[in-house]
Amino acid sequence: MEADGGIGTGPLATPSWAVRIRRANGTIAGSGILLSPDRVLTCAHVVGREEKVTAEFVGAAGSATGYQVPEVAARVVGDAYRPEQRDRNGDPVGDVALLELDRPRPASEATSLYRVSAPGRQVRMYGFPEHYNGGLWLPATILGGCGRDGQVLLQPTSPGQIARRGFSGGGVVDLATDKVIGMVLARSPEEGGGFTFMSPAETVVQHLPEVGAWTVGMTAVDEELRSAASGDDEALLDQPFAERLALWLRGGDTARQVKISLVPDGDRVRAATLRRAITLADRELRSRFSTGRPSLDAPGTVPAAGGLDLAVIATGRSTDEIAERIAGRMGLLQHLELPAAERIATATVTITLVVDGVDAAADPPSLIGLLGLLVARGSRVLLVFRSAGGYAARAREELLLRPALEGRARLGDRLARIIEGPGRELDRLMARVRGDDELTDRAVDALIHVITARAELAAGQGAFAVPPEDGPDLARYARVASRAEHHLAHALTSLNELLLRRDELRGELASYRRLYEESAARGEDLEADELYLTAHRLLRERPCDVAAAEAAVRTFRDLVDRPGTRPPAAGPAPGVQPPAPAVQPPAPAAEPAPGAPHRDDGGTPT
């Protein structure tokens, strides 16, 4: 059935391009993607270089009506085999293979790989895992790049939806475009840490250039910005500039969202350095260039593959033309009747974008406005200018200074709300009850960081002692605020529960004290009084150790409840005679003296 991964015509049906790969011993080795009538893409770890396997087409037309699943023998074609290796940083590289079928399949069953920006996309993947060998769809979200090979992380929608072995080599379909945008690299849950990995289309082409024949969609880098196409001398390298570019392209928590750089006309070294960074950061172009001089350069100058999603040359181009290029790369294929800028304004995906020659565009002000729209939606943008004059200053004002000032104001308000709200509440509750040390310590530590950040922000000191546009990444301080909000919420919940329990214990102790006093008249019981006073003292201490107080209340309560352990009734007060009984019982008869005559009931001697 479709819900179980069976074939059909609905969205859960097995796609015609999905290939189940079976070994000679009958076990399922993994999955594949039919790219042409006689070519199947899969992972290198699914098949051996010389191994002959069987490709099974579960979604083929006719299978749904009960016909036998078509089977075709397959093996690796030529040298199209790149087993997984580890680079000098320990990151996985490769793991792709191209198979040739002994007999071709109908061309209508094949699909193409589609180039598209990766981060934030909603996708689903198809594979043939154990217990679901009829095939199964799994949903996921692309988080971003990992390692230096251009692979990306896929986050499952729930922990139980991690792609396992059997998915390896399966296709990943973008929900927005309904295109196959990559191939699953399934690893064990222990290796993947709860994530699945994918090689995007460009990474596959990087390792197997012949797959480019079945790859469509806009490339990530304009021709003029490619090192090989520009004929650059590989020795032309401005190392400090290269290091700054590589650092920004790597992204991460410390990388700024917006970077402005200057590459003047005629500066061949700086221009070559920019093109080198762009080429190395592109998944598809990297291998064609990185085997030469850059592999010998300082590691700090080499960005990771996949560090950018799009690099465009703006010289002489209109803003609308550039917007269409951006929208196409973002995969915004719906509502094509709308201008590209409007589609970008409502997009949920983000990109890392390089725009070279902003001040040489046909309309620099409107282009800067378009880039500002992307920044506001969360994209990262590197703007390259030919001169440091007017347009660069305008971009600095609109994309760096103004957002930085607004961001500082928002951050200051948020930090103040944390301090004045949950921060004060934490202080109030900690003065009343003693909470879980781990919870309260984390909350206090997070609150101290918030207080420090607010003080530095207000006084323009520390990290904020520089112009706003050159200041620290506010996203890092937003994470400080989020961490404080998270830990404070947990600590306040725990402390409020303890405070409520303290009040309940106070009421319970008072009730048992009354019960103790209102039972039978008693004499002095020092033990009971001491137990009561101990519990009373612990409940009145500030801060109250609720656990210790609860134990003391329980001890007093148990003494009151336990039969036979209550103090005995007190005797009469001195000088007071106890009242006589209403009826005196008869005195017992005396024993007769030895030898005395016995009387019968009437008292007559015998």
pLDDT digits (tens, 9 = 90+) for 350-397: 999 999 999 999 999 999 999 999 999 889 999 999 999 899 999 999
pLDDT mean over 495-511: 96
Give this prediction's pTM. Answer: 0.72
- pLDDT for 457 equals 93
Q: How confident is the model at residue 147 (pLDDT cuts 50, 70, 90)?
A: low
Distance CA 109, CA 115 (A): 20
Which run of H or E residues covers position 126?
strand 122-127
pLDDT, position 343: 93
Residue 131: predicted pLDDT: 78
- Please give the Cα distance from 484 to 252 (Å, whole number): 21
Q: How far is CA 156 from the centre of its chain?
A: 10
Torsion from C-alpha of 112, 116, 120, 124, nearest 10 degrees: 0
Amino acid at 84: E
Backbone phi and psi for residue 374, each to the nearest 5 degrees, phi listed first: -65, -40
pLDDT tens for residues 117-137? 878 889 999 999 877 878 899
User: By the 8 A CB rule, do 192 and 206 touch?
Assistant: no
pLDDT at residue 291 in the model: 41
What's the CATH class of domain 2-216? mainly beta
- What are the tens digits of pLDDT across the range 433-461? 998 899 999 999 999 999 999 999 999 98
Contact between 373 and 381 (Cβ < 8 Å): no
Domain extent listing, the chain: 2-216, 223-388, 403-563
What pLDDT does 480 receive? 96
Indicate the average pLDDT of the chain.
85
Range list of H helices, 63-208:
189-192, 201-207
Contacts of 555 (CB under 8 A, 6+ apart): 531, 535
The residue type found at 524 is E
pLDDT given at position 176: 87
**Dist. CA 149–CA 9, nearest whole Å:** 36
